[in-house]
Amino acid sequence: MSEAAAAVPTRLAVLVSGSGSNLQALIDRIAEDPEFGGEIVVVGSDRADAFGLERAEKAGIPTFSCAVGDFEDRGAWERALVEQLLEHRPDAIVLAGFMKLVTGEFLQHWPDAVVNTHPSLLPAFRGAHAVREALEYGVKVTGSTVHFVDEKVDHGPVIAQRAVEILDHDDEDALHERIKQVEHELFPECIRLLCQGRLHIEGRHVRIR
């Protein structure tokens, strides 16, 4: 996204699968920051019962759900997901706890404009069980990573990271909760920079201007 384009609000589509606390943090941040430079035009989910959809409805944001099980195969599901998103003409896609992988077919619609938040310090503990695996491994520090999405899992260029200390008696829920508190600040901040056209990808590096 160019800096010139930042004069009009960047149209964001958010995808969620669960509670949507990161979505809520983004909704709140946009509401309180007139300089944010972006607006959420739709929230979608692969699960009709995702609490994130309720949060969006409460905020007056259009929603849709698109369940893998309703389609013949993953390809058909992803094409339908893209179609639903395109109806809202988003400039960027925000994966906020979206637990499905997207392919290059999806990404080609929004080049360098799909971002994700992951609850570990990547490249450590990729995948769906990052918090549990960090605890099991016995690392002393884990954290939050916000990154651009590419075709590999939890792999694209890193926008920002913040560390979270692991405490002696942490369990998965307690640790994940502390990581989320960090995500709720870091993720909206990164999306603000994206909306303002201030993130520039150079190979694996993201420069913030």
Compute the least distance from the CB of residue 43 to ligand GRF, in Å.
11
* Least Cβ distance, residue 25 to ligand GRF (angstroms): 8
Q: Which lies closer to ligand GRF via its Cβ, residue 15 or residue 85? A: 15
Q: Report d(CA 27, CA 71) in Å as an integer.
A: 31
Site for ligand GRF contains 63 (CB under 6 A): no
C-beta of 186: minimal distance to ligand GRF in Å? 10
Supply the minimum distance, in Å, between the C-beta of residue 39 and ligand GRF: 19
Q: What share of the chain is helix, strand, coil (3-state, %, to 5)?
A: 35, 25, 40
CA distance linking residue 167 with residue 34, whole number of Å? 37
DSSP 8-state symbol, 18: S
Q: Are strands 141-148 and 158-165 parallel, antiparallel or unpaired?
A: antiparallel
Size of the site for ligand GRF (CB under 6 A): 14
Contact between 62 and ligand GRF per CB under 6 A: no
Of 116, 111, 113, 84, nearest in space to 99 by CA: 116
Cβ-contact 155, 126 below 8 angstroms: yes
Closer to ligand GRF at the Cβ: 22 or 196? 22
How many other C-beta atoms lie within 10 A of the C-beta of residue 106?
19
Query: Is residue 21 close enough to count as binding ligand GRF by CB under 6 A?
Result: yes
Query: Rounded to an integer, what distance in angstroms lies between the CA atom of residue 72 and that of residue 80?
Result: 11
Q: Does 38 bind ligand GRF (CB under 6 A)?
A: no
Q: Determine, following the binding rule CB under 6 A, whether residue 22 of this chain makes contact with ligand GRF.
A: yes
> Cis (ω within 30 of 0) for the bond into 123?
yes
What mask of x and - would describe binding to ligand GRF in positions 165 to 194, judged by CB under 6 A? Answer: ---------------x--x-----------
CB 50, min distance to ligand GRF, A: 8
* Footprint of ligand GRF on 110-139 (CB under 6 A): 117-119
- The crossing angle, in degrees rounded to 10, of helices 130-137 and 172-195 is 130
Cβ-proximal residue to ligand GRF, closest one: 97
Radius of gyration of the chain, Cα coordinates, nearest whole angstrom: 16
User: Could you list the active site residues?
Assistant: 118
Interface contacts to ligand GRF, rule CB under 6 A: 16, 18-22, 52, 96-97, 117-119, 180, 183
